[in-house]
Structure 1
Amino acid sequence: MKRNGSCHCGAVQFTAKFPDERLVPSRCNCSICAMKGSAGVYVPLEALEVTRGRDELACYSFNTGAAKHHFCPTCDIHLFHQARSDPDKYAINAATLEGVHPYESFPEVPVFDGRRHVNDYGERRLAGCGSRPRRARSGPTG
């Protein structure tokens, strides 16, 4: 099933192809995922297409660089990240999908133990973030 998604301001939009209508979300307890608080739904890399704002999309990675977290630099909404637990998939922030309201749609979401991740050591396949430099921000806005 094809679903559309976007950030809050609409500068970045995407389409994702899911195997069926049922979305199976999960949460991760690693440092960044716990701070974001988003519920992720997974699709293969080739099943996600950015349809608007690809050049605007910002990317953040840290520590080992295995996970690439993509977000809108205008409204700062986390859209998706390349999962380090499965680098062939994107974890899409379920709240960015049209018609999905995570607190209503997923009252209970399982938590993946990202703090003790099996891929923390050894060789990894990494996909890079774009080389576009981040734009300076003028400060928080409401």
Structure 2
Amino acid sequence: MQKHKGSCHCGRVTFEFDGDVSAAIECNCSICRMKGALWHGTDDAHFRILSGEADLGLYQFGTMTAKHYFCRSCGVSPFSHPRIAPARWVVNLRCVEDIDLSSLKIHPFDGQNWEAAAQQLMQARAAGAA
């Protein structure tokens, strides 16, 4: 399993996660589209905030389920707890060192139609697990 390091733009917030990255999710919801984020999911056991936790701001909207973290100094959003799985993390791969974004398979998520897209994703995952 590969270790990846990342940060916000100013470097106050740093993090790392373990995992193989060959794909990303691109969501077109209002906030992800404006951020231009490419997301990779991970869990608490494989994700660590290394520095700058006190420099993080939190933004929530809508259902107030997702937790969108950003650096209060530079404004960059390096990771979140997503609405679809609030106990997990998603890392913005645009904030990760040494990731060739052009080599990733990008999976679209229709966040503009969140309820239907989430249901479709959960059904696909359940079918894959069966």
Q: TM-score by structure 1 length?
A: 0.74
1:2 Cα shift? Answer: 1.5
Separation (CA, whole Å) in 1 of partners of 2:49 and 2:26: 23
Residue 22 of structure 2 is matched in structure 1 by 23
User: How many residues were matched structurally?
Assistant: 115
Q: Is 1:71 aligned with 2:56?
A: no
Q: Is 1:105 aligned with 2:103?
A: yes
Residue 115 of structure 1 is matched in structure 2 by 112
Separation (CA, whole Å) in 2 of partners of 1:24 and 1:85: 18
Q: Is 1:96 aligned with 2:95?
A: yes
Residue 37 of structure 2 is matched in structure 1 by 38
Instruction: Point out where structure 1 has 5 or more consecutive residues left out of the alignment.
Output: 120-142
1:23 Cα shift? Answer: 3.1
1:101 Cα shift? Answer: 4.3
Instruction: Return the letter of the residue paired with 2:108.
Output: V
Identity %: 34
Counterpart of 1:109 in 2: which secondary structure?
A: strand
Q: Which has the higher strand share?
A: 2
Residue pair 1:41, 1:94 contacting (<8 A) in 2 also: yes
Q: Is 1:14 aligned with 2:15?
A: yes
Q: TM-score by structure 2 length?
A: 0.80
Moved over 6 A (4+): none
Instruction: Return the letter of the residue paired with 1:4.
Output: K
Residue pair 1:11, 1:53 contacting (<8 A) in 2 also: yes
Instruction: Point out where structure 2 has 5 or more consecutive residues left out of the alignment.
Output: 117-130
Residue pair 2:23, 2:107 contacting (<8 A) in 1 also: no
